[in-house]
Amino acid sequence: MKVFEEKKGNVFRILSEAISEGIVIVNEKQEIVTSNEAADRMFGYEAGELLGQNLNVLIPRKYHNNHHKQVDEFMDRSDPRQMGHGRDLYGRRKDETTFPVEAGLNPFEIYGSRYVMALVTDITVRKTQELKIVELNSELEQKIEARTHALSQTVNELKEEVAKRKEAEYKITESLRKERELNELKTKFLSLVSHEFKTPLSGILTSATLAGKYTETEQQDKREKHLRTIQNKVKYLNNILNDFLSIERLELGKATYKFDTFPLSKVVNEVIYNANMLLKEGQNIIYPSNIDDINVFFDEKILELSLTNLINNAIKYSSEGTIINMIITPEKDSLNIKIIDQGRGIPEKEQKFIFNRYFRAENALLDPGTGIGLNIVKSHLESLGGTIIFESEENKGSTFTITFPTKNTTE
Ligand code: ADP
């Protein structure tokens, strides 16, 4: 060290003091052999105070072990290089505080001894600025994230709003459609009433007038015949009114159903009894008599309405002297009822429209009718998990089959 001190010239001193970086030179034993003013100031030492001290005094204690090894390795190689390799480097001041540094190491040999010159820069300001930038960036990221979140929330709210509006719009259009259909229905009802009610009402009037003319006791037969006609026509009008009420309820979504367990024979007998009054000359209904032990769990009114419609059609669209068959087949969880007639049938090209409301086949137009019976039977049955299908051949006959679910079919 002495030799070095003696040999170094004034030029080096002037140069090293003029440089703003700290210069620290250590020998092979890592003893500091010289330091410039900038290095002394940076590390908080008086001029010359560092001389002879181990390099460790400038390094935070927690890095001592590692550092020693690294310097030894470094001494064995001789290329100048930057310290740290991407790691943050710290210096230790005399007062034990630490501060970030950047250091370049330059090994050299002089008069047979090896030295390392470290060029040290205090990067506290730069690090603080870097930290500030990182903080600002993360603040910015947080702000962006918060904004994005708020934005996506708004978008979601808007989407919900749009969905609600669409739903409201749909409801309005739906209720407008229903209102329009109901209005059409009412108009149709008025025109149908004038057509469909006129004939039976005048029939009722005629029969009532005629019945009144048979005053003799032995003319009871004739009186009864007219009273039966009156009953039939009233029943017919009543059926039409029921159908219309059904449509209105279905349209308004107000159709209510009542499930009950009841004997199948009760409904069948009622339907057959009423249908018998409508039979044409020589017509006959054959229906099963062994159904007394069949109980069904279903809506009684809907079953009655369905069978009445099908039987009345079979009578209406068949000629005198024909047979109408009712076949009942209990399945495992359902009941199957067929009404078979030998009537005029439905023209093939019109079969696909037969369940449309108000649709009447061409070969039916001379008979009274509204074209709504099958439509409401289908709607009701399907609402209750049932089905209605048919097969028909013109001038041969038709078979209508209804199937509906029922829990217990036999007792
Ligand atoms: P309506 O009998 O009052 O006209 P429906 O809805 O009961 O109305 O029947 C619709 C149409 O289906 C009838 O007009 C008729 O053309 C046809 N139809 C229904 N049942 C039969 C049947 N058993 N035989 C022939 N045609 C039928």
Does 397 sit in the ligand 1 pocket, CB within 6 Å?
no
Q: Among 66-75, 137-146, 297-306, 318-327, which stretch is predicted with the lowest mean pLDDT?
A: 66-75
Give the mutation target among 324, 344, 354, 378 for probing the ligand 1 site: most ligand atoms within 8 A of CB.
Answer: 354
The arithmetic mean of pLDDT across residues 208-214, rounded, is 90
| pLDDT confidence band for 83 (50 / 70 / 90) | low
> How many alpha carbons lie under 13 Å from residue 160 in its C-beta half-sphere?
5
> What pLDDT does residue 67 have?
67
What is the average per-residue pLDDT within 244-248? 79
What confidence category does residue 191 fall into, taking pLDDT thresholds of 50, 70 and 90?
confident
pLDDT cut 90: percent of the chain above it: 58
What residues contact residue 137 under an 8 Å CB cut-off, 6+ apart?
Answer: none
Q: With cut-offs at 50, 70 and 90, classify the pLDDT of residue 99.
A: very high
369 lines ligand 1 (CB under 6 A): yes
Q: What is the pLDDT of residue 79?
A: 65
Q: Between these two residues, 334 and 408, which has the higher pLDDT value? A: 334
Contact 235, 274 (CB under 8 A): yes
CB 226 within 8 A of CB 208: yes
Q: What pLDDT does 3 receive? A: 47
| Whether the predicted pLDDT of 104 surpasses 70 | yes
Q: How far is the CA of 360 from the centre of ligand 1 (A)?
A: 6
> 48-57, pLDDT tens digit by residue?
999 999 999 9
Tokens coding 119: 């060029």
CA distance 103 to 59: 12
22, pLDDT greater than 50: yes
Over residues 83-101, the mean pLDDT reads 85
Ligand 1 atom 11, closest CA:
360
246 Cβ closer than 6 Å to some ligand 1 atom: no
CA of residue 245 to ligand 1 center, whole Å: 19
More confident residue, 294 or 19: 294
Look at residue 97 in the predicted model and tell me its pLDDT. Answer: 94
* Region 279-304 average pLDDT: 92
Nearest CA to ligand 1 atom 23: 314
- Tell how far the Cα of 290 is from the centroid of ligand 1, in angstroms: 29
For residues 21 and 16, what is the distance between their CA atoms, to the nearest angstrom?
A: 9
Q: Is 320 helix (H, G, I), strand (E, B) or coil?
A: coil
pLDDT at 272 exceeding the cut of 90: yes
Cβ neighbors of 56 (< 8 A, separation 6 or more) are: 30, 64, 67, 68
Cα 260 to ligand 1 centre (Å):
29
Q: Which of 236, 311, 313 is the pocket-test mutation for ligand 1 (most atoms within 8 Å of CB)?
A: 313
Which atom of ligand 1 approaches the CA of 377 most closely? 6
Q: How much is the average pLDDT of 269-273?
A: 93
How confident is the model over 255-272, as a mean pLDDT? 92
pLDDT at 411: 45
Ligand 1 nearest atom to the CA of residue 364, by list position? 16
Write down the mean pLDDT value for the chain: 88
For 404-409, what is the mean pLDDT?
Answer: 74
pLDDT mean over 309-329: 96
Residue 193 has pLDDT above 70, yes or no: no
Mean pLDDT: which of 70-84, 95-109, 196-210, 246-260 is highest? 95-109
Q: Which of 283, 346, 351, 391 to mutate to test the pocket of ligand 1 (most atoms within 8 A of CB)?
A: 346
Mean pLDDT of 93-108: 92
* 142-189 pLDDT, tens digit each: 999 999 999 999 999 999 999 999 999 999 999 999 888 778 777 776
* SS3 label, residue 389: strand
pLDDT band at 317 (very low <50, low <70, confident <90, very high): very high
Report CA(364)–ligand 1 centroid distance (Å): 7
Percent of the chain with pLDDT over 70: 90
Task: Pinpoint the alpha helices (H) of 102-256.
Answer: 124-192, 198-213, 220-251
Q: Cα(384) to centroid of ligand 1, in Å?
A: 22
Is the pLDDT at 70 greater than 50, yes or no? Answer: yes
Ligand 1 near 364 CB (within 6 A) = yes
pLDDT for the residue numbered 1: 45
Residue of minimum CA distance from atom 16 in ligand 1: 361
Q: Is the CB of 377 under 6 A from ligand 1?
A: no
pLDDT of residue 308: 94
Tell me the sheet residues that pair with 158. none
What's residue 14's pLDDT? 76
- pLDDT of res. 409: 42
Kind plus residue range of the DSSP H or E element containing 315? helix 300-316
